[in-house]
Amino acid sequence: MSHITHAQCLICGKTFEGESFEYVCPDHGNEGILDIQYDYNRIRESLSPEQLASNPDPSIWRYRPLLPVNSDSKVPALSIGGTPLYHFETLARDLGIRSFHLKDDGRLPTASFKDRASAIAAVKSVEKGAKIITTASTGNAAAALSGICASMGLPNIIFVPHSAPQAKIAQLLMFGSKVILVEGTYDDAFDLCLDAAAEHGWYNRNTGFNPYMSEGKKTCAFEICEQLDWQAPDVIAVSVGDGCIIGGIHKGLRELYHLGWIDTMPRLIGVQAQGSSYMADAWKNNENVIEKTAQAADTVADSISAGLPRDRIKALNAVTQTQGAYVTVSDDEILRAIPDLASRTGVFAEPAGAATWAGIQKAAKENLISVKESVVMINTGSGLKDVNSAMKAVELEQLPCFRIPPDITEVNRMIDKLR
Ligand SMILES: *Cc1c(COP(=O)(O)O)cnc(C)c1O
Ligand SMILES: [Zn+2]
């Protein structure tokens, strides 16, 4: 058994006992995203900061009582979670803030943050006896589900836009998924996947539809706070597409606060691309995201390109309830942030990961972060996911790269030129 008590619809507040729901609140079509609630008193009996400190398992399953899975469910062999939190004093100084940490989720098994959620989906699909599991994705959620399914021997069918970066499609094919390349946008692939899953009875991992995905994503907040010895940072910044990550981080922080393991709630800063700025616009203009319709989405950061963010209710709450902010960055700023972050930290991020670095610099400049504050940035994906975009950044920044014949005199001439 898990410690789930009920799930609550974020639109009408209706509650569903235990796990007596399929995915969404049936009163709102596909939009009725649920929030999972637990018996926190019982969780306190089996989990504490002291108990965690003596647990050598670095994976997300160290927090199992706080996760929506049965205590005896088999978990994937791949190690999900336990990513490093790096401290960079020089970057804090340059930003003019107290401290700066970088949580590198590009280090997860399939090289993106999505592994945290897909691991939960895979375990839940087995609990529910599903024969096939499916998702639509801009690429990373798909690769994550695909890799984790491969590790557990679970058949899966994946819908991605045909324009997804090559590396992400290659991952799907290597992991043995049935891959459906949709001639359309992510939003098209999403709707198609929902229809197909309903028609064929597949287990559906889709973001902003399957309420357990936030539960996987919240583990990153647990790790950040535990790595900081339960001293929550002042600000956590992360890029936003569908809004599931930022909503999940918010959920994790609320749980830690409720349990009394942290004393303060960080402000959440969501970073969006100027070309896919639904959430930032909704926040700035005080719009109702239940009514607000889709916007065009076009950005080099494919992982945060979402015309209609599927987890928009949670994503808006995350920022408004923490007195945080949304910032937007241009594609050029995103591309330039890739080598800027990589050359100063050794962490190579894909465009959607680097977007957060561009956003933090903007937030610091606009005084959305103050000098006394500590900031944690999450890198959500590895730069190796999208080498094409990195090479565009090379061009933009005219990064030096010399091609010479294999001859020492040529090397010497080049060195002279460099002086
Ligand atoms: C999915 C993803 C995001 C955004 O997460 P959402 O939950 O869609 O907001 C950011 N960066 C990367 C690399 C991702 O794969
Ligand atoms: Zn409802």
- CB-based burial, 101-118: b 16+ in 10 Å, e otherwise: bbbbbbebbbbbbbbbbb
Express each pLDDT in 122-177 by its tens digit.
999 999 999 999 999 999 999 999 999 999 999 999 999 999 999 999 999 999 99
Q: Please indicate whether residue 245, judged by its CB atom, sits closer than 6 Å to ligand 1.
A: yes
Q: Please indicate whether residue 303, judged by its CB atom, sits closer than 6 Å to ligand 1.
A: yes
Beta bridge pairs of residue 179: 158
| Distance of alpha carbon 174 from alpha carbon 170, whole angstroms | 6
| Nearest residue to 301 via CA among 269, 282, 275 | 275
Q: Which ligand is nearest to the CA of 141?
A: 1
Express each pLDDT in 96-116 by its tens digit.
999 999 999 999 999 999 999
Percent pLDDT > 70 in the chain is 100
Strand segments (E) across 267-412: 267-273, 325-329, 374-379
Query: Within 10 Å of residue 29's Cβ, how many Cβ atoms?
Result: 9
Q: Calculate the alpha carbon distances from 398 to 99, 124, 390, 392, 402 in Å.
A: 31, 48, 12, 10, 12
Express each pLDDT in 359-399 by its tens digit.
999 999 999 999 999 999 999 999 999 999 999 999 999 99
Q: 127 CA distance to ligand 2 centroid (A)?
A: 25
Q: 74 CA distance to ligand 1 centroid (A)?
A: 26
Q: Beta strands 203-204 and 235-239: pairing type? A: unpaired
CA quadruple 331, 335, 341, 346: dihedral positive or negative? positive
Give the mean pLDDT of 6-26. Answer: 96
How high is the mean pLDDT of the chain?
A: 97
Q: Beta strands 325-329 and 267-273: pairing type? A: parallel
Q: Calculate the alpha carbon distances from 375 to 42, 148, 358 in Å.
A: 32, 31, 14
Query: Within 10 Å of residue 96's Cβ, how many Cβ atoms?
Result: 12
Query: Within 10 Å of residue 37's Cβ, how many Cβ atoms?
Result: 14
> Identity (one letter) of the amino acid at 81?
G
Give the mean pLDDT of 247-269. Answer: 98
| Distance of alpha carbon 404 from alpha carbon 337, whole angstroms | 29
Q: Please indicate whether residue 353, judged by its CB atom, sits closer than 6 Å to ligand 1.
A: yes
Express each pLDDT in 44-60 by its tens digit.
999 999 999 999 999 99
User: If pLDDT is split at 50, 70 and 90, which confidence band does 5 have?
Assistant: very high
Q: 5 CA distance to ligand 2 centroid (A)?
A: 17
Both tokens of 413, joined, read: 């001439």
Give the mean pLDDT of 395-407. Answer: 93
Q: 12 CA distance to ligand 2 centroid (A)?
A: 4
240 CA closest ligand 1 atom index:
9
242 CA closest ligand 1 atom index:
8
Phi, psi of 299 (to 5 degrees): -155, 155
Q: Please indicate whether residue 380, judged by its CB atom, sits closer than 6 Å to ligand 1.
A: yes
Residue 1 has pLDDT above 90, yes or no: no
Give the mean pLDDT of 292-309. Answer: 96
pTM of the model: 0.97
Domains located in the chain, CATH noted: 85-111+213-397 (3.40.50.1100)
CA end-to-end distance (rounded Å), the chain: 67
| Distance of alpha carbon 64 from alpha carbon 227, whole angstroms | 17
Q: Which ligand is nearest to the CA of 27?
A: 2
Cβ neighbours for 376, distance < 8 A, ≥ 6 positions apart: 85, 100, 101, 102, 103, 224, 228, 233, 235, 236, 237, 266
Please answer whether residues 53 and 65 qualify as being in contact, where contact means their C-beta atoms are separated by less than 8 angstroms: no
User: If pLDDT is split at 50, 70 and 90, which confidence band does 250 have?
Assistant: very high
Express each pLDDT in 326-336 by its tens digit.
999 999 999 99
**Residue 401: exposure state from Cβ atoms within 10 A (0-12, 13-18, ≥19):** exposed
| Nearest residue to 157 via CA among 183, 184, 130 | 130
Q: 139 CA distance to ligand 1 centroid (A)?
A: 10
